[in-house]
A = this chain, B = another copy of it.
Amino acid sequence: MSLGRLYGVGVGPGDPELVTVKATRVIAAAPVVAFFAKAGRRGNARGIVDRWLKPSHIELPLFYPMTTESHFDDPPYREALKLFYAESGAAIAAHLDGGRDVALLSEGDPLFYGSFMHLFIRLRERFKVTIVPGVSSICGAWGAAGTAMTWGDDSLVILPATLPLEELIRRLAQADAAVIMKLGRNFPRARAALLKCGMAERAIYVERATMANEAVMPLADKCDESAPYFSMILVPGQGRRP
């Protein structure tokens, strides 16, 4: 019996219609559909592909060991994550060893800040893997905002808001266009960095892009101090245009 193939399937930023035709085909053909989720929740990626699942699918939810994200430098947290990825990899490997293809869902694109990557590097030596690129969360965000991001020779810098303030400022200072991701409780720091760099005025805040409860506003209008995980700040480029 031949081994199953692992598919890393990007399912896009949230709108179920922003799944690719290839993703729908791969999901339809795979006997097993795996996805990450918080304990007790269905998981965003699973929700996005709901209309493409059939009763015959074997669903393999991979529940994160904790409900709120702790700091990565905390050793028990890091160890718990390591164990989680090892166990998740083993659960998927059991299906692949049994000859069953597995479609592992990933919000946005699978190789851009995705949990999928942690299983990819653990399984790619033993099994064949096919990547199905997806519409990334950043494209979803600037599409929702209707913001043309990069013109001509503009560079684009993508930064996680988890970086220290000085690092954010140092890197924004060299950017023509920028995206700050992973806002959450780091939102005030991201705003402070943009103010320092003179980029706050043209910045746009986008929350849950392409989802039902999407919100878009100038950064200046976002007055509270916190933001959900699925939010980001866009700073459009101002490069050449004829």
Chain B residues with CB under 8 A of A151: 113, 117
Q: Main secondary structure on chain A at its contact with chain B?
A: mixed
In the complex, are the beta carbons of A139 and B158 less than 8 A apart? no
Residue ID in chain B nearest A144 by CB atoms: B131
Measured CA separation A145–B18 after assembly (Å):
23
Chain B residues with CB under 8 A of A112: 139, 142, 149-150, 156
Chain B residues with CB under 8 A of A162: 152-153
The answer to whether A61 has its CB under 8 Å from any CB of chain B is: no
- The count of chain A contact residues (Cβ–Cβ below 8 Å) is 65
The answer to whether A44 has its CB under 8 Å from any CB of chain B is: no
Q: How many copies does the complex hold?
A: 2
The answer to whether A226 has its CB under 8 Å from any CB of chain B is: no
The answer to whether A91 has its CB under 8 Å from any CB of chain B is: no
In the complex, are the beta carbons of A118 and B241 less than 8 A apart? yes
A139-B142 in contact given A19-B21, A20-B17, A170-B174 (Cβ < 8 Å): no
A155-B148 in contact given A21-B18, A24-B21, A85-B242 (Cβ < 8 Å): no
List 20 A-B residue pairs with CB atoms under 8 Å apart, sorted by A's residue number: A12-B133, A72-B242, A85-B242, A109-B135, A109-B143, A111-B147, A111-B148, A113-B150, A117-B151, A118-B242, A121-B241, A124-B146, A133-B139, A133-B140, A135-B136, A136-B136, A155-B157, A155-B160, A156-B157, A158-B158
